[in-house]
Homo-oligomer: A and B are copies of this chain.
Amino acid sequence: MKAISDILPHIAYGGDYNPEQWNEKVWYEDAALMQKAGVNLVSVGIFSWAVLEREEDRFDFTWLDKVMNILHEHGVGVCLATATASPPAWLSRKYPETLAVDDKGVPYSFGSRQHYSPNSSIYRRAVKKLVTKLAERYKDHPALKMWHINNEYGCHVSECYSQDSLEAFHAWLRRRYQTIDTLNEKWGTNFWSQRYNYFDDITFLSNTPTFPNPGQQLDYKRFMNDSLLELYMVEKKILRDITPDVPVFTNFMFEFKPLNYFSWAPELDVVTWDTYPDPREGTPEAHALQHDLMRSLKHGQPFLVMEQVTSHVNWRDINVPKKPGEMRLWSYSAIARGSDGIMFFQWRQSRAGAEKFHGAMVPHSGDEQSRTYREVQQLGQELKQLDSLTGAVVPARAAIIFDWENWWAVEMEGKPHNKLSYLEQVKAYYHTFYRRNIAVDFVQPGGDLSSYDLVAAPMLYMVKNGEKKNLEQFVENGGTLVVSFFSGIVDENDRIHPDYYPEPLRHILGIHVEEFVPMAGGEWNQLSAGTDHYRCTTWSDVIHLETAEAAAYFTEDWYQGRPAVTTNSYGKGKAVYVGTEPEQAFIDDILTGLMREKGITAPASAPPNVEIVERTSGKGNHLVIVNHNQEEARIELDSGRSYVDLLAGTKVENEVIVQAVDVLVLRQTEQK
């Protein structure tokens, strides 16, 4: 298969297109408006099953043929959806066992979307038939660029408690554990008389009187992730067989806990995701983090923004539109961090249905003079100047350890502190890098760390087989590792590592932790580090130094004077432990100190709230600069380099001004 940047040599621009909601006359108007707006790619058919297969085995592709042809004639490529995201009413009625079942044992109702059980064999059979038909029919259509498989897997239904799912769970457990004795050992079923004699004894934990077995809870999350991935693979296999050269993908979501996207990414030809920042929250730093994560899923390969909105969504309580210029600004933030496409949900605002108040590229009025369409058109025209960005990577020397399984485990109940948010811990460390324009990747704890100088591992509660070794090697070889509190506690089955906490990190950190002192909201302690003092909250570790030295101490409560932050030399490297949740300033200070030691710097110097990201490839070295401020920003560039401003076409050296709420894309002209 060709590289994505060969298939999509321009920044992809367009959106979800649902022509079945409109008549043929509108299709032609749409195609003309698309052309005018610079649209080069649309996703068609995501929710078309009911009009493609109108009754079981009664297929109707005539309308889609027409749509594909019209689009092609207007120079618009198609991500063709497999239309399996929402099966039609006739399927649910004829085969009610295809419905997913909720945790009260009640089947989901037809009438919205995604009501299928991922483990229903009948649903899977129907999926195979539909996808085969689609692939056979359109395999040679010139508009076909990529396959959009299903849609936002697990968005509403990431857990299913049907009989089919239970049987699939038994099979999954058999594969994982081979013998019931192994399972009993791993789940610790001698606690509370939970021992199983047979795999088939196992039921769902959906209505237990009190805290259920944590090992089983965790495996259920793994199983549901795997069920949905298996479902994706069912479609992928068919598509690969019939259209081996057409890339396949599905679209990921924001801070989406149920799916371990690291396990999915190898099966996608390109990572795509849907980004919906709430304009009320200001600069979308959390979405910048996700862009960096999405880029990291395939080790730096550019991703696509598969959905965003022009103005406002309709599924929050209060759905504020983006202000003039914000849609453009945030689009460039995505591009800066590795996106090669800007796609919207959706092309034309629906007249009916649950999302009729969700913004679109063409509003209800259809008005070409509307703010919405004008902004769409401006961006579409601009992006045509940026072909050299496609395929470019974002070089990074720092990384943050991120692990979905740890996320699942650390937020299960029955912990010392039951209000812990893994993401909040990750974000605190990410923030330091983001605000300083230091490129940062995300890596799994067992992933390749060899290209990084500084790695942060916030709240790495679960350390699985092999990960101890991986982290040790990184430090031994000279890396700097920062670990925060409640790390290194359990194995992959959520069983305590025997011996002192944090057993798998004990040698590398040179400490052990005797006790945990969780704090409630509003409670705090204080760190004393040299002459500086910092507030800390949430948690204190009672730490014993082994080979480490204390870098900060607690000043309050019965453990005052005990170490709170420690540093340890290990091999050629260094490991820092932060045994509490310090205020942001402390994290900033400690990480910037470590970056200074390693010579890690930003690509250019800029005032606060200006993003500068380097994207580089054989086609050139770029700086993408995004000014979130309401006033202009002066950027000092590397004095030895010259750039061309790709949107203005002007030459730039030494320093440059970015207007308020504006962007610059600079390509280096005289490197070597």
Question: Which of B50, B207, B209 sits near A195, CB closer than 8 Å?
Answer: B50
Q: In this assembly, does A498 line the interface, its C-beta being within 8 Å of a C-beta of chain B?
A: yes
Question: Which of B88, B93, B208, B495 sits near A111, CB closer than 8 Å?
Answer: B208
Q: Tell me the complex Cα distance, A343–B115, Å.
A: 50
Chain B residues positioned under 8 Å from A671 (CB to CB): none
Interface pair B209/A100, CB less than 8 Å apart: yes
Give the nearest-CB partner of A519 in chain B: B318
Q: Tell me the complex Cα distance, A93–B200, Å.
A: 9
Give the secondary structure class of A's interface. loop
Q: Knowing that A111-B205, A319-B418 are A-B contacts, what are 13 other residue pairs whose CB atoms are under 8 Å apart, sorted by A's residue number? A: A21-B191, A89-B197, A90-B197, A93-B203, A104-B106, A112-B212, A191-B355, A319-B415, A319-B518, A355-B414, A357-B414, A363-B514, A364-B498
Q: In this assembly, does A20 line the interface, its C-beta being within 8 Å of a C-beta of chain B?
A: yes
Interface pair B321/A207, CB less than 8 Å apart: no
Q: In this assembly, does A382 line the interface, its C-beta being within 8 Å of a C-beta of chain B?
A: no
Interface pair A112/B192, CB less than 8 Å apart: yes
Interface pair A317/B419, CB less than 8 Å apart: yes
Q: List 23 A-B contacts (CB under 8 A).
A: A47-B193, A50-B193, A54-B197, A102-B207, A105-B106, A106-B207, A109-B206, A110-B208, A111-B205, A111-B212, A112-B205, A115-B209, A187-B352, A214-B353, A214-B356, A314-B416, A318-B417, A319-B418, A321-B516, A351-B496, A354-B413, A365-B500, A371-B515
Interface pair A114/B351, CB less than 8 Å apart: no
Interface pair A188/B156, CB less than 8 Å apart: no
Residue with the highest number of chain B CB atoms closer than 10 Å, among A48, A89, A93, A115: A89
Closest 3 CB pairs of A and B: A188-B352, A191-B353, A156-B209
Give the nearest-CB partner of A353 in chain B: B191
Kindly provide the distance from the CB of A111 to the nearest chain B CB, expressed in whole angstroms: 4
Q: In this assembly, does A255 line the interface, its C-beta being within 8 Å of a C-beta of chain B?
A: no
Kindly provide the distance from the CB of A5 to the nearest chain B CB, expressed in whole angstroms: 33
Q: Interface size class for chain A?
A: 35 or more
Q: Tell me the complex Cα distance, A573–B602, Å.
A: 66
Q: Tell me the complex Cα distance, A334–B350, Å.
A: 47
Q: Tell me the complex Cα distance, A604–B20, Å.
A: 62
Give the nearest-CB partner of A101 in chain B: B207
Given contacts A21-B190, A416-B314, A496-B364, contact A111 B514 (CB under 8 A): no
Q: In this assembly, does A493 line the interface, its C-beta being within 8 Å of a C-beta of chain B?
A: yes
Chain B residues positioned under 8 Å from A112 (CB to CB): 192, 205, 208-213
Q: Tell me the complex Cα distance, A498–B18, Å.
A: 17
Q: In this assembly, does A216 line the interface, its C-beta being within 8 Å of a C-beta of chain B?
A: yes
Chain B residues positioned under 8 Å from A111 (CB to CB): 194, 203-205, 208, 212-213, 216
Give a binary string over A65-79; 1 marks a CB under 8 Å from any B CB, 0 the rest. 000000000000000
Chain B residues positioned under 8 Å from A284 (CB to CB): none
Chain B residues positioned under 8 Å from A433 (CB to CB): none
Give a binary string over A350-392; 1 marks a CB under 8 Å from any B CB, 0 the rest. 1111111100000111010011100000000000000000000
Q: In this assembly, does A17 line the interface, its C-beta being within 8 Å of a C-beta of chain B?
A: no
Give a binary string over A484-504; 1 marks a CB under 8 Å from any B CB, 0 the rest. 000000000111101111000
Question: Which of B90, B208, B370 sits near A109, CB closer than 8 Å?
Answer: B208
Give a binary string over A459-488; 1 marks a CB under 8 Å from any B CB, 0 the rest. 000000000000000000000000000000
Interface pair B367/A500, CB less than 8 Å apart: yes
Q: Tell me the complex Cα distance, A196–B110, Å.
A: 11
Interface pair B212/A354, CB less than 8 Å apart: yes
Interface pair A350/B318, CB less than 8 Å apart: no
Give the nearest-CB partner of A500 in chain B: B365
Give a binary string over A167-205; 1 marks a CB under 8 Å from any B CB, 0 the rest. 000000000000000000001111111111100111111
Given contacts A312-B416, A352-B187, contact A365 B106 (CB under 8 A): no
Given contacts A191-B352, A351-B498, A352-B493, contact A107 B207 (CB under 8 A): yes
Chain B residues positioned under 8 Å from A363 (CB to CB): 514
Give a binary string over A397-413; 1 marks a CB under 8 Å from any B CB, 0 the rest. 00000000000000001
Interface pair B209/A353, CB less than 8 Å apart: no
Give the nearest-CB partner of A412 in chain B: B354
Chain B residues positioned under 8 Å from A415 (CB to CB): 314, 319, 357
Interface pair A191/B100, CB less than 8 Å apart: no
Chain B residues positioned under 8 Å from A323 (CB to CB): 558
